[in-house]
Amino acid sequence: MSETISWSDFEKVDIRLGTVVEAEAFPEARKPAIKLRIDFGPDLGVKKSSAQITVHYDPRELLGLQVMAVVNFPPRQIGPFMSEVLTLGFTDAEGAVVLARPDKPAPDGSRLM
């Protein structure tokens, strides 16, 4: 069971919607991953992320998809790549990551409510 948090704890996590504008294989990563550049709109701009999503996604099919990411974690060095946001997903029955995405389009930069 998860630990209970307060509403103010939840408000500290800044989850935003963005559109993937670039995606490429990341062969230098220890675990298979894809390097993403995600546009979070005019206020946040384009941010980089490394996502372990290679089982279900090919870099070419990610272009133009809207995804959710935590944008207020500190940047994290992953091999030669600096990941600026944490792209969100869920594990399927086999443990592979499926991206967390909205079912309808919304403006880039929109905050999860």
What's the whole-model pTM score?
A: 0.94
Which sequence spans correspond to the domains of the chain?
18-98
Distance CA 49, CA 33 (A): 10
Q: In the structure encoding, which two tokens stand for residue 89, read together? A: 């997903």
Q: What is the pLDDT of residues 45-76, one digit of tens each?
A: 999 999 999 999 999 999 999 999 999 999 99
Provide the CATH topology of domain 18-98. Answer: OB fold (Dihydrolipoamide Acetyltransferase, E2P) (2.40.50)
Q: Residue 13: what pLDDT?
A: 96
CA 3, 5, 39, 109 torsion-angle sign: positive
